[in-house]
Amino acid sequence: MAEIKSRDNKTLPGIEYSEIHIPDEDDLGTGVFTTVLEPNSMTKINPIISTIINVPVFKLIVNINSVENEITILLGKADNSPALSRDVFILPKEFDATKTHHFDTIFKDWKITGLNMNGDSLKKITN
């Protein structure tokens, strides 16, 4: 049971780094995907999209839309099939968009189970 851990720096504008951690390589549907935004990125770029794709076995997309105050997450296989899990979370009403923000997407058994922003759980608005 080997773990998978990979970090990519500055993958897209506004993203300081993203990192995937899957504790068991035989269970790709369980783990944490972290996205850390650069300071001020939420004031300049909208939406900010953070992704990790390993064709055809894994795809996770995090769409941070600060204008709509929503974060949409899609999780599934990268084989042109529909997402296995899709959830929308609401950004806090009050946060400093000029600061660095740390998002952790938590998933288990191919289902999104939570999203944390700077260590705090965000409210899910859809299933």
Mean pLDDT of 22-36: 97
Q: What is the pLDDT of residues 58-101, one digit of tens each?
A: 999 999 999 999 999 999 999 999 999 999 999 998 889 899 99
| pTM passes above 0.85 | yes
Q: Where are the alpha helices (DSSP H) in the chain?
A: 41-44
Confidence at 126, pLDDT banded by 50, 70, 90: low
Residue 127 carries which side chain, given as an amino acid letter? Answer: N
pLDDT at 83: 95
Using an 8 Å Cβ cutoff, are 18 and 99 in contact?
no
The answer on pLDDT for 6 being more than 90 is: yes
Domain chopping of the chain, boundaries: 4-113
